[in-house]
Structure formats: C-alpha cells, structure tokens
Chains A and B, each alone.
Chain A
Amino acid sequence: MKIETKNTNQIGTQPDFAKKIDVMRLLGYVCQELDLTESQVESAQSSYEAVGRWLSESETPEIRSAVIYPQGSIALGTANRPIRGNEFDVDLVCHLLAIPATADPVIVKRLVGDRLRENERYRGMLEEKQRCWRLNYAGQYHLDITPSIVNPRCSNGGELVPDRMLSQWKATNPKGYCQWFAQHTSIRPQFTAAFAEARIRADVQPFPEPQEKKGMLRQAVQICKRHRDIYFSMHDQDFAPVSIIITTLVAKSYAHCATNGVYASELDLLIDVVRMMPTFIEVENRGGIRYYVVPNETTSGENFADKWNADPRLPAGFFEWHSVLSETLGEIESQSGLDVMGRTLSTGFGEAVVKPAIVQFANSVSSARSSGQLSIVPGIGLAASPTGVRVARNTFFGR
C-alpha cells in the first residue's frame, strides 16, 4: 500500500520505469511461451464437444441429459504447456442432472464409463482413473472426465463429485469457481500517475508489448504454476502445492493488491501479489494444532487445503517453494545484463520457455533494425522510436 511514497522517499532517484517495463515485457514473452496454442485449445474443445454429443445420444436417460464442460486451467484460461512430452490435461465435468445425491458414486462413475466404452473409438482410448475416466488423444492431450451431480444443499449452483474412495460425494463448484475467478480477473489495478505517464511516452515504451489478452492475474497464475513445476522437479513432487490452491491464493492476493494499492509499475504489482499469497491462507488453532483452510468461496464444505492437515510436509512444501519464488522475482529487478537475468529466469522457470522468450526479446530489436526504425534514445538505449539517434544500417564483421 505504501507504494507511492516508497519511491518518492528515494531522494534524487526516479524509479527505473524503463527497466521495470522491460522486465515485465520479458515475463510477458515467457507467458507467451507457456501458453497452449489456439489450435491446441480448439482441438481439445471440439474433442470434448464430440464426447458430449456421444453421451447425449445414450439410451440411458440419466446419461442422455448429461452436460460436459471444462473445469480447471482450461476453463480459467491459466493452462500451461506441459513440461515434458506433448500431452496436456483437459479437465472436464460430466454433470448428470437427473441423478440424486443418494446415488452410489461407484455406480454413477460406471454409468459414464459404460457409455464411453460403447463407442468403438473411445473404447481404445479409455483409461480408468480413481475418480474419473481418461480419454487419451495420443500425442495431443487427454480428457479427464469426472462425473458430478447436483448438490441439493448448495444454494450457489454447486455440485457433488465422488471422493477418492468413491464412497461418498464431496462438495465442489466448478462453474461457480470459474465465475469467481473471472470476476477477479476483471479487477483493474491502480498505478501511479508517474507510471501511467511513463508508459505512454514513446521513448519509455521501447517496443510494443506482447499480446495482452489474458490480464495480469492469469499471467501471475501461469508463472507461479510453472515455477512450482520446475522447483518440485528438483524436490519431492509429492509435496507440491496443487494448482487450485495456487490459483485461489493468487486470485485473492491480486484482488487485495489491485483494490488497495497504488503501484509504481506492473512489476511491483506482480511482486506484491506473489509476496502476499500466504496471507490468504486461513490458519485455525484446533486444540493447539495448526489447521489450514483455503476455502472454496463458491460452495460451503470445500477446503482446498484439507490434505495439508493430514501431512505437514505439504504446507512446508508450499512455504518453501513460495519463498524461493518471491526471491527470484525480487532478484531479477536488481540484476544487470540480459544474460544474467536470463540465467535467473531459466533457473526459476526452465530454459525451455526462457530461451525462446529471450529470442523474442532480441527480435524486437532486430525487427526494428531491419525496418530502419531502431534508434538510441537517451536514458533508454535501443528503441523503436522516431526520436533519438537513428541506428544506421551496418554489417558486423570480424572473426
């Protein structure tokens, strides 16, 4: 919250807007590398729509009235490309409107599986998982289809899904969560007048920023998830915080920061959003023992962090990871040299996305150069700008 005064206290030092803007630009390129392609998403969509049509033609009335829709990162717009291999997850709900809460989860799950198996093509792709059915589209993606039924106790349109043992139903609200998240993405952050001014001055915005459709909240979630994946590839994967916890904490933190703070730059906002994530974990004292709650605000009875209370290594994993991420983001801003920053980012987010992001970053200079628009602008350096000293055509020579 102190953001505006923090910078004016530095006597004689203007916040280095140009650097902050460029670091965000580089992170923006990293996010682009994390994205699934449009055609990947469209292909997955047409696949699950086809599954929906197959279900709607079932002879079993309960299945015929089923509705399939995405949940998780695909629905939220926070999906990352997989690290290894090509196949990404598409989480789907198969919502069975006609089935009562007294139904046996085992039977409900079987009903869905049976219908899928009736399709010759799907039969060959079908894999049974603990609570869902997986259809493998080899080399592309897999559709994970979880059956759900109406939760009569939830006044917010919530649903029930089988628990791990398939012995009972537990409350959840995929549609509600999606809306909740979307509302959070539409909260506009506030920046200082100085930053707003710096952004529109042609010479402090050296190059156009990468396509910004997703918004800062989604990008922050993507960055956190990728950092988590890289971090836990070198630590015990079992204690990695699950994506729904990360997503929920980032969303809450973003809402808080965007509403209450005035920031000197987008980078400062991102750093603060990440920094404040743990403050949105509720900690209760239950008979002297810490009890963690990250509630699903869209339905009662769902604690995303319930497993943390069964194994203390889970919250420990979260806090350790979080402090490494916070440190990484803080470090970048104080470093000098594209190579140094590149190495720090690669360590945190993986070379596979950082190297291409740096290539994009260099391309912005190269394309301005080849179209004759590259200049040296005072205080900035290389920029695609009509002001400053034009960089004439040249050919590097030598060894």
Chain B
Amino acid sequence: MLQNNAASRGSGKVRYGRLVWEFEAKPTPLSRTYRLRIEYQEGSVPKVVVVDPDLRQLADGRILPHVYEQHPTQLCLYFPKTGEWSSGKLIATSIVPWAYLWLFYFEEWLISNEWKGGGEHPKMNNDNERKTNSND
C-alpha cells in the first residue's frame, strides 16, 4: 500500500511483524524534500522520524514544536487515544498525509515562529510519562 501510493513511494522491509519504511516527502512545490522513516510494530503505534535534513539545525536552536523527541526528530501527528489513529487505519492514507502537513507547518513555523497547524500539548505531570497521561 505504501509503495503504491505516490506520496509515500520509497523502500523498506517487514520483518517479524515490524515494518520499517523510508520515503521522501515534499509537502508543496515550494518546500524542501525531507526523508522520513516510519516504524510500525504490530500491536503498537506508528513512529515517524525525520531522517534528513536535521530539523534542529534548520530551527537554529529553537525547540521543535509538536515532536515526541527532538532528536532523532519523532513527529507527533495525532492525538493519542482519540481514534484519530487506530490499528485499523492504513498508514499510507493517515500517517503519511499528516507527515506532509506537519512538514508544511514546520517550514511556516521556521519563519513565523508560530505553529499554525493547531494541536494539543500534553499536560506535564510529576513523572516523565507524557505520552500516555494527557487525555483530558
């Protein structure tokens, strides 16, 4: 499915129920081309990482918005536990388009310093488990 879709044409493999897929994405004709890697372990949730270029360099020291990790840059593309993503969904038609959108807003953020894509931030708790704690 990923290979058939022009937006995510790339390469990768599936081994032991784990998919690793790399592809190039150019969000709009004016955008850069980014290299992305999706990792998906059956039973878990897809992880999307920007392999190239280094977004922190582009951001020139600013903290990247809407990421799980600054480096390697792992993108936050959906609100967990809301059904935006579920294992029934195809990565090619959900995660991949969201990655394009994220990268588009990222370039806009680079120049305006405001995230125009909307979104939510996790509530900060005493411990560090941000990923699962914030579904209020």
Contacts and interface: CB of A to CB of B under 8 A. Distances in A.
Interface of A: 16, 18-19, 21-23, 26, 206, 336-343, 355, 358-359, 362, 365-366, 369, 374-376, 378-382, 388-399
B120 interface: yes
A360 to B, nearest CB: 11
A374 B79 CA distance: 19
B36 interface: no
For A358, A362, A390, the residue with the greatest tally of chain B CB atoms inside 10 Å of its CB is A362
Nearest to B95: A394
Contact of A343 (B108, B111, B118): B111
Given A22-B29, A396-B77, A397-B80, A381 B100 contact: yes
Nearest to A375: B97
A388 B6 CA distance: 9
- Cβ-closest 9 pairs across A and B: A398-B76, A396-B119, A378-B6, A339-B110, A18-B29, A395-B79, A19-B29, A391-B97, A338-B107
A336 B84 contact: no
Interface in B41-79: 58, 63-68, 75-79
Contact of A382 (B63, B82, B92, B101): B101
Contacts of A355: 111-112
Contacts of B78: 394-397
B8 to A, nearest CB: 9
Nearest to A392: B94
Sort chain B's interface into a size bin: 35 or more
Given A392-B98, A398-B119, 16 more contacts: A26-B30, A342-B111, A355-B111, A358-B108, A359-B112, A362-B105, A362-B116, A380-B29, A381-B26, A381-B29, A382-B27, A394-B84, A396-B119, A397-B76, A398-B75, A399-B122
Contacts, number: 153
A378 B115 CA distance: 26
A338 B111 contact: yes
Given A397-B122, A398-B122, A376 B32 contact: no
Contacts of A339: 58, 107-108, 110-111
Contacts of A341: 30
B11 interface: no
Contact of A390 (B31, B80, B93): B93
Contacts of B117: 366, 396
B63 A19 contact: no
For A21, A375, A380, A395, the residue with the greatest tally of chain B CB atoms inside 10 Å of its CB is A395
B100 A391 contact: yes
A391 B101 contact: yes
B111 A397 contact: no
A399 B63 contact: yes
B7 interface: yes
A366 to B, nearest CB: 6
17 contacts: A16-B29, A18-B29, A19-B30, A336-B32, A337-B30, A337-B107, A342-B111, A355-B111, A365-B101, A381-B100, A381-B104, A389-B96, A395-B120, A396-B77, A397-B77, A399-B63, A399-B122
